[in-house]
Amino acid sequence: MIRPSRFVQRLAGKATLKPLKHAHLARPYAPSAQNLPKSNSPIVSKLDFFNSVTGDGTQIPTYRVLDGAGKPLEGAELPEMDEAYARRLYEYMQLLPTLDNVLYNIQRQGKISFYMTSYGEEATIIGSAAGLENDDEVLGQYREMGVLLWRGFGLDKVMGQCFGNEEDTSGKGRQMPVHFGSPEHHFHTISSPLGTQIPQAAGVGFALRRDPNRRSRSIAACYFGEGAASEGDFHAGLMLASTIPAPTLYIARNNGFAISTPSSEQYHGDGIASRGPGYGIDTIRVDGNDVLAVINAVREARRRCLGQGRAVLIEAMSYRVGHHSTSDDSFAYRPRSEVEDRKRLDNPILRFRYFLESRGWWNNEAEEELKARLKADVMKAFKRSESLKRWELGELFTDVYGGEEPWNIREQRQELATLLKKYGNAWEPWRKELTKFKNNGEDLLKSAP
């Protein structure tokens, strides 16, 4: 006879099992905050969805120092500055539209191929430049020319880059206008593909953190528009800079439009700032038309980058008063009256001028003198740059690879030299174009077979 197993006997009520030695291991699993992976989140029994990074479900607040009339808000802390520094801020804010007016018209005359203005974003650009240190590494998008000017880049080099002449130290005439770069001024060369600088900035910040001479004094600062924040590179960059981590300050210029797409059609959430907490980084939204608020926000963000060794995100709220570029007519997708209202009601330059006047640091005479001087300086640089030749034609093939020159570059140079030798003096369009280069292309002709 086969005896039933203890399990069968137990089911029949004829036997009981002995207690296990480690009975506590059989207790039901009761998760607590400490049990969850890398989280101190409390355990609740209430089904509670959320759709806001603020506790009460309201939108993220916008930090501001000056109201629309240039008066400090109650309790607002002004950045430390004297009259000379304040006037310098205002001068560079005025320099940007002066340059924009001239270069925009130059493009319309066919003297340069392309241009992008920074109308309406002067406070964001100059305020952030003033909040950074001059040896912080900057990775810009398109509208950060003011950062270079603040650091001493100079009008001649601005014109040189836009004309692509022999004074173009950014790319020797091989890049589109407004694609600036300057190792001397710690400004990485701008590239056209949207958002590529965002993950690169995480790498730059990480390199600074690993450098014993710079880890405690320099950060990477990365600019981009809210449209670029829709790129995958945005998420890759913030993920890298928050987890590696890397002292990288991300400055999102939310100017309301990604070319013709309004921000209301770009995302459903609460702007770009709402994404920062998702990556565990300190975040602030600032009034991008308030230069003093931008300075305060950038200085504090920079301090946090250095102190924590990881990324910080700033969303600067402004309005793109100008067209996206010289290839765009924004009045095809927004009413002209809307733009004019913004110019009148929320002008960042006018707001800061009111502040200066309230302190006795500015008046109408100073305004007229400044505008006349800036226009004269810009026109002088323009006329000078227009008369300069381009780099030697052979520079088209340099600075591509380090070390030994590869066969394909040599082959392309020889092919162009052969064509120049055959058609350079025989065909009028080529003959005219060659006169624009230093040495009229002779450096290549000498190497022709």
How many CB atoms within 10 Å of residue 111? 14
Say whether both 415 and 317 belong to one domain. Answer: no
Residues 209 and 358 in one domain: yes
Task: Give me the residues of the chain with pLDDT under 50, please.
Answer: 1-2, 7-8, 11, 15, 23
- Encoding tokens for residue 21? 């030695």
| CATH code (residue 208) | 3.40.50.970
**Whether residues 213 and 345 fall in one domain:** yes
Calculate ∠ Cα 169-115-117, nearest 5°: 105
Range of the domain at 437: 393-447
| 341/281 Cα distance (integer angstroms) | 36
Indicate whether 206 belongs to any domain: yes
Q: What is the pLDDT of residue 21?
A: 54
**Are residues 178 and 309 both part of a single domain?**
yes
Q: Is 365 within a domain?
A: yes
CA–CA distances in Å: residue 238 to residues 52, 194, 284, 393, 400: 19, 16, 15, 41, 30
Taking CA atoms, 48 is separated from 43, 44, 51, 205, 275, in Å, by: 12, 9, 10, 38, 20
Output the pLDDT for position 11. Answer: 46
Residues 158 and 290 occupy one common structural domain: yes
Closest CA to 327 of 431, 177, 157, 224: 177
In a domain, 29, yes or no: no
What does DSSP assign to residue 426? T
**Which tens digits make up the pLDDT trace of 166-217?**
999 999 999 999 999 999 999 999 999 999 999 999 999 999 999 999 999 9
In angstroms, rounded to a whole number, what is the distance separating the alpha carbons of residues 333 and 265? 13
Residue 258 lies in a domain: yes
Distance CA 157, CA 410 (A): 30
- Residue 236's identity, in one-letter code, is A
For position 363, what pLDDT does the model report?
98
Q: How high is the pLDDT of residue 407?
A: 95
> Taking the model in full, what pTM does it have?
0.90
Q: Which pLDDT belongs to residue 360?
A: 98
Residues 172 and 188 in one domain: yes
pLDDT of residue 8: 45
DSSP secondary structure, 45-80, as one string: SS------SSTTSPPPP-B-SB-TTSPBPTTPPPPP
What whole-number distance in Å separates Cα of residue 423 and Cα of residue 448? 12
- Residue 109 counted as domain residue: yes
Q: Are residues 428 and 361 in the same domain?
A: no
End residue of a domain, out of 387, 416, 438:
387
pLDDT, position 55: 84
Per-residue confidence (pLDDT) for residue 448, from 0 to 100: 75
Q: Supply the pLDDT for residue 23.
A: 47
What contacts 206, CB < 8 A, 6 or more positions away? Answer: 240, 241, 244, 245, 246
The number of domains in the chain is 2
What integer pLDDT is reported at residue 16 of this predicted model?
53
**Residues with Cβ < 8 Å from 297, sequence gap 6 or more?**
63, 131, 284, 286, 314
Answer yes or no: is 7 within a domain. Answer: no
Same domain, 296 and 411: no
Residues 334 and 430 both lie in one domain: no
Q: So what's the pLDDT on residue 50?
A: 85
